[in-house]
Chain A
Amino acid sequence: MAKVLPEMEEYQYGFHDPDIAVAKLDKGLSRKTVEQISMMKNEPGWMTDFRLRAFEIFQQKPMPTWGGDLSELNFDDITYYVKPTEKKGRSWDEVPEEIKRTFDRLGIPEAEQKFLAGVSAQYESEVVYHSMRQDLEKMGVIFMDTDSALREYPELFKEYFGTVVPPEDNKFAALNSAVWSGGSFIYVPKGVRCEIPLQAYFRINSENMGQFERTLIICDEDSFVHYVEGCTAPIYSTNSLHSAVVEIIVKSGARCRYTTIQNWAPNIYNLVTKRAVAYRNATMEWVDGNIGSKLTMKYPSVYMMEEGAKAMVLSIAVAGRGQHQDAGAKVVHLAPNTTSTIVSKSISKHGGKTTYRGLASFGPNAKGAKANIKCDTLILDDNSTSDTIPYNEIMNDDVTLEHEASVSKVSEEQLFYLMSRGIPEEEATRMIVMGFIEPFTRELPMEYAVEMNRLIKLEMEGSIG
C-alpha cells in the first residue's frame, strides 16, 4: 500500500545508501528474536537471561498513554537487528566502502582529526568504527562499544549494567534491554580528566529499522569526561524506531557532561531513557539538542544520591511540520544540599508541537536542596503549539524551588528593529531564533555550536510565508 510521505522540511541527512548488511533478522519481535540476537553476539548466559526477562517485562507493560501519539508505532513492522559488517574498523580504511562513504558525507572522520579524543560510529545495530587517542588509553580510560565491553570487561560491566535504568522502568527501557546492540561504554578512572570530548555517532540506514543502542558511562571519583553524540537517519515513507538507554554513574567529586545533537529524520520515533546517578559533590550535566524526529519522548534525569550533588539539564527542542517534541528533564533530590538547574528552550513552527514535561522531586532527606527551572518557548506561527507540564514532589519543607516559564512569539518590534537596519525578514527571524537558543549553543564545543547554528539555519529556511 502506498503511503504518503510525511511532509517534511529540508533534511539534509535524508539520503540512504545501499543495504550491505551481512546479517539481518526478520521483522517482528518474539522470544526467538531476542535469543537470536544474544546468540549472534555470543553472549554469556546471564545476559541472555537478562534480555529474556526484559522481553517479558516489555510484553507485560502497556503502551504509555501520556506524552506523544504512539498509535502508528507497530512493533511487528520493525527489524530489530541488522549487522552491517563482519568486523569493526580500528582505522578508517578497514570500514566497508559504502559505510565509509556515509560517514564521510556526515563529516565524521574530519571531525575526529580536528578535535576529538575518541570516536565511535554506529551503523544500524553495530559499531563499525572505533578509535581513541593513545594517551587516554594509557591513563586507563576505557571507551569502546558496549558489546565489546561486555566481552572485555565482564566484571566492571556486570557491576553497573542495568543498575541505573532497570528493565522494569518503562516499556521502552524493557524493549531496549531485550534487544540492545551497540552503544558506548566509557570508564574514566579516579582523578582522570578527559579534557577533549569523546564522540559517538549513530546512523540508521535501513528502512523500518530499530536502533537500540545501550550506553553506560562510569566516572570514577574526581574524574571528568565530556561525551558527545550525534544522530541522523535517511527519510523513508515508513517509520523507524530509535530507543536507546543511557546509564551514567558519577562518583563523588566527578563531573560528567553528556551532549546530544539529535537530528533524526522526521519519520523516526525517538523514545529514549537517559538517567544518571550522582554521588557526593558530583556533577551531572545533560546538554540535549532535539531537532528532528517524528516524535521524541525524552526526559534526561539525574538522581542526586548524596550530599552536594549537582544536576544541570539544558535542552532545546525544535518541532516543525508533523513533529512533536515531548521532552524535558527529571531532577530527583535524595540528599541534603543538592542543587539542580533546568533550562529548557523550545521552538515550534509550521504546525509543530513542543511539550516540556519535567519533574522536580525532593525526598525527605533533601534538606537545603535547591532547584531552578526555566522553560522558554518561542512560537513562530499561529499553527504551532506548545505546552508546559511541570510536576513537583516535595517531601520536606526545607527546599527552594523556582520555576519560570515564558511563551513568546517573534515580536513585531524586534523584527522591525532588525529590518530597519537593512536585515531581510528571513534573516532577522533567524537571528531572533538563534539568539533565543544562544544559552544552549554557548555550552557546545565550538565545532558543534557552528554545526548547530547551521542546522537551525536550515530548519529556518522557508519559515517566512
Chain B
Amino acid sequence: MSKPDFVIRNLHVQVEGKEILKGVDLHIRGGEIHAIMGPNGTGKSTLASAIMGHPHYEVTEGEILLDGQNVLEMSVDERARAGLFLAMQYPAEVPGVSNANFIRTALNARRGEGNEIPVLQFHRRLVQKMKELSIDPSFAERYLNEGFSGGEKKRNEILQMAMLEPRIAILDEIDSGLDIDALKIVANGVNQLRSDNIGFLIITHYQRLLNYIVPDVVHVMMQGRIVKSGDAKLAEELEAKGYDWLKQELGIEDETVEVEA
C-alpha cells in the first residue's frame, strides 16, 4: 500500500454565507503528524468539518485531494471509505444502536460487500483494542455515545479510529475535557497507530496534548488562514508565551473569524 498523500489547496469555506476559511493550504503524508493550533474562533474546527463534508459547510474555492482523488466530489460516506476519519469534538448519540454493531457496520462498509469481517474475528479485534484503550468491555453493547461522559466519548472516537484504520485521521480537539489520565490513554492510542500508512491532523487549543503526541509540523491558524508553521518547538513557544507575540509579529489585531461553541 502506498503512503497516504493528503493535499489541501487554497481552501475557502463559508458557513451560512459567512466566509470562515480564507485560503488554507496543507500537505500531509503518511507517517506525519500535523498539529493545528490557534485561539478559539479562528477556523480550526471549520477546517475539520469541511474536510469531512458536513452539510453546513460550503466550500467555495480550492481543492482537497486524497491520494490524488478529488475529495470535494465525494459524499460524506465516500470520503470515509476513501480513508478519511474525523474524531469529533461532539459526537452524536444514537439510541438503540450498539457501539459494536455500529463499528462493525462501518468497518464492513469500508471493506465492501463480499469482504465483510467474520463476526468472531471482529469481536476479538474489538476486545483487544478496547483493552489497549482501557475501555470497559461493556462499551461494546452500550448504545452509541448515549449517556457517555465527555471522556468516554473521546475514547470511543479513538476506538473507532483504531478499528477503522484510516489513511488520514483528523482529531478535532480530542483533548478537550479530558483529565490527564484519559489524555495519556488517548495519546497512547494515537501513538500506537502511528505508521507510514496513516497521516494525522491534530486540532488543539493546548500544547499539553502535544507533550504526548509529538508532532512533525505545527501550524497556527488565525483569521481563517494558516499564519505560521514550524516544528514541535513552535508549540512549546506558544505554550510559554501565548499567542499575543505572534499576533504582534504578524500585525493581527483580532484573530477570530467565527464563534466556536
Contacts and interface: CB of A to CB of B under 8 A. Distances in A.
Nearest to A435: B96
A417 B110 contact: no
Interface in B68-87: 75-77, 79-81, 85-86
B95 interface: yes
B212 interface: no
A308 B184 CA distance: 53
Interface stretch (B15-23, B31-39, B101-109, B223-231): B101-109
B77 A419 contact: yes
Contacts of A417: 88, 91-92, 94
Contacts of B91: 417
B102 A422 contact: no
B97 interface: yes
B125 interface: no
B251 interface: no
Nearest to B79: A420
A439 interface: yes
A432 B143 CA distance: 11
Most buried by B among A423, A425, A437: A423
Interface string A418-450: 111111110110011011111100000000000
A429 to B, nearest CB: 11
A380 B101 CA distance: 22
Contact of A422 (B55, B143, B164): B164
Contact of A420 (B80, B93, B96, B105): B80
Contact of A421 (B53, B93, B164): B164
A434 B97 contact: yes
Contacts of B80: 419-423
A401 B101 CA distance: 36
Nearest to A437: B96
B97 A423 contact: no
A425 B95 CA distance: 17
A15 interface: no
Contact of A425 (B75, B93, B97, B144): B75
Given A428-B77, A435-B143, A423 B94 contact: no
Contacts, number: 81
B203 to A, nearest CB: 15
A416 B51 CA distance: 13
Contacts of A411: 92
B247 interface: no
B77 A424 contact: yes
Most buried by A among B80, B85, B103: B80
B160 interface: yes
B9 interface: no
A160 B164 CA distance: 60
What DSSP secondary structure best describes chain A's contact surface?
Answer: helix
Contacts of A439: 96
B220 interface: no
A423 B80 CA distance: 8
B95 A438 contact: yes
Interface residues of A, number: 24
Interface string A349-368: 00000000000000000000
Most buried by A among B55, B80, B94: B94
A423 B105 contact: yes
A422 B96 contact: no
A419 B85 CA distance: 11
A427 B92 contact: no
A412 interface: yes
B213 interface: no
Contacts of B102: 418, 421, 431
B54 interface: yes
Contacts of B88: 417, 420
Contacts of B86: 420
A416 B54 contact: yes
A413 B80 CA distance: 16
B106 A423 contact: yes
Interface in A348-392: none
A414 interface: yes
B222 interface: no
A431 B92 contact: no
Given A434-B97, A435-B94, A435-B95, A419 B75 contact: yes
A435 B97 contact: yes
Most buried by B among A417, A421, A424: A421
B96 A413 contact: no
Contacts of A418: 94, 102, 106
B158 interface: no
Given A416-B55, A420-B86, A422-B164, A432 B109 contact: no
Given A422-B77, A423-B80, A435-B143, 17 more contacts: A416-B54, A418-B102, A419-B80, A420-B88, A421-B80, A421-B85, A421-B106, A422-B80, A422-B81, A422-B109, A423-B109, A427-B109, A431-B102, A432-B94, A435-B94, A435-B96, A438-B97
25 contacts: A412-B55, A413-B92, A414-B92, A419-B76, A420-B53, A420-B76, A420-B88, A421-B102, A421-B106, A421-B164, A422-B106, A422-B109, A423-B80, A425-B75, A425-B77, A431-B94, A431-B101, A431-B102, A432-B94, A432-B97, A434-B96, A434-B97, A435-B96, A436-B95, A439-B96
Shortest beta-carbon contacts, A-B, top 8: A435-B96, A438-B96, A422-B80, A421-B106, A435-B97, A419-B76, A417-B92, A422-B109
